[in-house]
Amino acid sequence: MRNTIISLLAVLFGLLAGALLMTVTGHNPFEGYRYLFEGGLKNVERFGNTLATATPLIFTGLSVAFAFRTGLFNIGAAGQMLFGGFCATAVGLTLDLSKPLMLICTILAGFIGGALWAFIPGWLKAKFNVHEVVSTIMMNWIAYWTIYYTVPAYFKGQYLETESRLLPEAASLRVPFLTEAFGGSYINLGLFLAVIAVIVVAFIINKTTLGYELKAVGFNRHAAEYAGIGVNRGIIVSMLIAGGLAGLGGVAEFTGNASNIQIGKLPTQGFDGIAVALLGSNAPLGVLLAAIFFGLLYSGRGFMNAMTDIPPEIADSIIAIIIYFAATSILIERLVRKLLRKRANKREQNVEKGRER
């Protein structure tokens, strides 16, 4: 409850700050927000795109949140997502299978690729106590350059050096019934995969011994060790699952929302995953809702930019400011407490006044 209120207030402050930014730069914030939300919700196609945009964010958000429960800060979701997505793309471009079989293979490849990329920082942390923040950042750049050279060398696109060939229909997460139901949107099976992931992660965290042990390591590493929980094993397992989730995000992005992989950029969803996890207070359901909200901002900004001359980066600014407020939640708590106290004082004064009369 407390977390929900903080998240909602952080969103409110973020939107207010966005309005302030628009006003300062000479735009009408009411108009801006109207088009922003219309752009994400106006019709079924736009709504479908909002959900599709949210899909990779659900995965990376779950990834960061899951690692965080074990006290690990997975800042490498971008690299894990990229490498997982790359593995899935490679499988999709190499194998020739029927669609159901193909999807199982690409999804597995993505999960394993992401898990492998997170295993290294997890192993370094468990074995040598290397801080995962620095090692995951290094892994991000290693993934970046690996894909940068591997894609043009082995999977070069027909026209552009900077992207891979288009995936065959069998390897795409897009299916006709969804595309048609949402009026031509690029929504795809990734969304269902993401919802399943939310349920599975919630189950692992809340209902299994493994989840309990991982949380125990996160709360107090030394106490967990004293209680006989394998701390090092927990760190590695937690990173493996987190990386696998981020890898699935890559599958959803590169074989669902897009139909090939591009070189020369780290997927921004990896870093937005931190934001999603933080706003969703590291709970699976919270992550789902936060991702959909961010998906709305991201998919609506194009429409806003077309209808007004407000730059699309307003959406990123709002998200970033929301995260700052979520990170400084103590500020919000103090504010709320102060307001409550003021009200209590007033009531007391009124009561006293009443008595005096």
Rounded CA-CA distance 1/53 in Å is 27
Identify the three-state secondary structure at position 173. coil
Do residues 79 and 142 lie in contact, with contact meaning Cβ atoms separated by under 8 Å?
Answer: yes
Confirm or reject binding of residue 225 to another protein (CB under 8 A): no
Q: How far is the CB of 311 from another protein (least distance, A)?
A: 4
Q: How many CA atoms lie within 13 A of 203 on its CB side?
A: 6
Among 23, 25, 94, 349, binds another protein (CB under 8 A): 25
Q: Does 21 bind another protein (CB under 8 A)?
A: yes
275 close to 294: Cβ distance less than 8 angstroms: yes
Residue type, 261: I
Interface with another protein includes 212 (CB under 8 A)?
Answer: no
Q: How many CB atoms lie within 10 A of CB 221?
A: 16
Q: How far is the CB of 316 from another protein (least distance, A)?
A: 3
Tokens of 142: 């290693």
Would you list the DSSP string of 198-216? HHHHHHHHHHSHHHHHHHH
Q: Which residue has the tokens 């088009």?
A: 35
Radius of gyration of the chain (CA): 22
Distance CA 90, CA 154 (A): 9
Q: Applying CB under 8 A, does 219 fall inside the site for another protein?
A: no
Q: Which stretch binds another protein (CB under 8 A): 34-42, 137-145, 155-163, 233-241?
A: 137-145
Let me know: does 272 contact 294? Beta carbons within 8 Å: yes
- Secondary structure (H, E, C), 75-92: CCHHHHHHHHHHHHHHHH
**Residue 135 sits in the site that holds another protein (CB under 8 A):** yes
CB closer to another protein out of 49 and 136: 136
CB of 149 to another protein, least distance (A): 4
Scanning 31-39, 122-130, 215-223, 283-291 for contacts with another protein by CB under 8 A, the matching segment is 122-130
Nearer to another protein, 189 or 274 (CB): 274
Contact flag: residue 320 with another protein (CB under 8 A): yes
Of 265 and 342, the one with the shorter C-beta distance to another protein is: 265
Q: Which of 20, 227, 327, 344 binds another protein (CB under 8 A)?
A: 327
Does the protein bind another protein through residue 162 (CB under 8 A)? Answer: no
306 binds another protein (CB under 8 A): no
Give the C-alpha separation, 91 to 82, whole Å: 14
- Which segments of the chain does DSSP mark as H helices, in order? 2-24, 29-41, 44-69, 77-94, 99-128, 132-154, 176-181, 190-207, 209-219, 221-226, 231-252, 269-279, 284-307, 313-327, 329-356
Q: Least separation, in Å, of the C-beta of 331 and another protein? A: 6
- Report how far apart the first and last C-alpha atoms of the chain are (Å, whole number): 40
Tokens 């969103």 belong to residue: 11
Give the nearer residue to another protein in terms of CB position, either 48 or 121: 121
Our finding on whether 287 is near another protein (CB under 8 A) is no
Candidates 90, 124, 171, 204; binder of another protein (CB under 8 A) is 124
Q: Which of 96, 98, 100, 129 binds another protein (CB under 8 A)?
A: 129
Find the binding residues for another protein in span 243-282 (CB under 8 A). Answer: 271, 274-275, 278
Window contacting another protein (CB under 8 A); options: 21-29, 52-60, 184-192, 336-344: 21-29
Instruction: By CB under 8 A, tell whether 20 contacts another protein.
Output: no
Q: How many binding residues for another protein (CB under 8 A)?
A: 44
Q: CA–CA separation, 82 vs 249, rounded Å?
A: 9
In this structure, are residues 338 and 344 in contact, taking their beta carbons and an 8 Å threshold?
no
Judged by the rule CB under 8 A, the positions of this chain that interact with another protein are: 21, 25-26, 73, 75, 120, 124, 128-131, 133-135, 137-139, 141-142, 145-146, 148-150, 271, 274-275, 278, 311, 313-314, 316-317, 319-321, 323-324, 326-331
